[in-house]
């Protein structure tokens, strides 16, 4: 899925939201991230990359095995 970062006036944003709502109603997949959520996801990605670089990751199956105990 592609990503688009956007700045717009309130009027322009309303026009865009109307279009986005129509796209979703037509059955197309679309996800909207506000800047707060975008920044949080970016922070989580950067933290994960640092953890991976430092060898602080776990195998998927090991995590599931531990959770299912």
| pLDDT tens sequence across 33-42 | 888 888 999 9
Position 1 pLDDT exceeds 80: no
The number of folded domains in the chain is 2
Structural domain of residue 5, as residue ranges? 1-32
| pLDDT tens sequence across 24-64 | 999 999 988 888 888 999 999 999 999 999 999 888 898 89
pTM for this predicted structure = 0.50
CA distance linking residue 17 with residue 23, whole number of Å? 10
Same domain membership, residue 65 and residue 43? yes
Same domain membership, residue 1 and residue 11? yes
Same domain membership, residue 40 and residue 28? no
């Amino acid at each position: 899925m592609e990503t688009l970062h956007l700045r717009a006036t309130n009027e322009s944003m309303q026009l865009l939201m109307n279009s986005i709502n129509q796209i979703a109603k037509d059955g197309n997949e679309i996800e909207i991230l506000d800047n707060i959520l975008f920044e949080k996801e970016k922070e989580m990605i950067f933290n994960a990359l640092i953890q991976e670089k430092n060898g602080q990751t776990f195998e998927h199956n090991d995590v599931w095995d531990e959770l299912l105990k």
